[in-house]
Amino acid sequence: MFILHHTAPILQVLPHSHPPISSQFNHYTPFLTAKNPIYTQYKLYSNVTKARTRNLQSEVEINSFDADDGDGYGDEDEDESGFLRGGGFIGREEKEKDYDRDPEFAEILGSCLDDPDKAKSKMEERLRRKRNRILHSKTGSATPMQVTFNKFDFSNSYIWFEFYNSPLEKDVSLICDTIRSWHIVGRLGGCNSLNMQLSQCLLDQRPSYNAIQGANINPTTFYNIGDLEIQDNIARIWVDIGTGEPLLLDILINALTQISSDYIGIKQVVFGGSEFENWTESLKSEDAGYSIHKI
């Protein structure tokens, strides 16, 4: 619209409320969220290819451990989602496990190539120092336990035990409990071979027990027993069984045979004798491997 003003030398154009419409052709889509299907598929394929490449590289590369943290992965190599920037994925369950990181063991392995003898000596020292904390599912021996008699006297003799290795604390506890139970049953007269009524019954007959016959049998009593002494892998215990009852010895041998097979290997058991190889009477120091345990 044109306005004629008496003082205006030229014509003026009133401002319009809407911007002028451009006649230029718009090559872009009117919506910013629109995507090209071909471009999306290409982008997805590219991401999958890169991920596979990173995983392949992570399998052939050896990741260096962070010396400050000691956990095998630096804080800067892992993001919040569990991915490593070097490739690969750490599962949540595996990530949350409490792994035992041992710098001493890593040092021993690191010196194997440079000085194998030194690494071997360090490993042996480590095993001796930490043997009480080493767990074994089965520590017995498949080799049968040897049993010998050396002038054994029922009223005054030692029983010697030779183990393949120095017994651990739990093994000593098991041996002590076995000997203690053996002594209690023998002291109460439970190992009397003269009163074996049920074991002598025929299998096809109903078992029966004669109380009068059992009461008239001469009792057998385990008189006395000493403490268990251990020097390295040798142990001994003094016994005073009193009466010559072989059933009492059979019960102990059967129990020790099972212990040797399942828990701690026993090389041999010797009944009788005042001396034994590698046993020193004057050795009473705990630092030298001597210990005494109450029965």
- Four-residue CA torsion sign, 182, 184, 187, 189: negative
Reference 236, options 224, 225, 245, 221; nearest CA is 225
- pTM of structure: 0.54
- Distance, in Å, from the CA atom of 258 to the CA atom of 254, rounded to the nearest integer, reads 7
Q: What does the pLDDT look like over 198-252, one tens digit per residue?
A: 888 887 888 899 999 999 988 888 999 999 999 999 999 999 998 888 999 999 9
Domain 146-191+219-275+282-293 sits in CATH 3.90.1690: no
Phi, psi of 184 (to 5 degrees): -65, -45
> Is residue 128 within 8 Å of 94, Cβ to Cβ?
no
Phi-psi region of 66 (alpha: psi -120 to 50; beta: other; left: phi over 0): beta
Each domain of the chain, given as residue ranges in start order, spans: 103-133, 146-191+219-275+282-293
Cα dihedral value 236, 238, 244, 250, nearest 10: -30
pLDDT at 254: 97
Comparing C-alpha atoms, which of 230, 295, 238, 234 is closest to residue 269? 234
pLDDT < 50 positions in the chain: 1, 17, 22-35, 39-40, 42, 44-45, 48, 60-84, 86-99
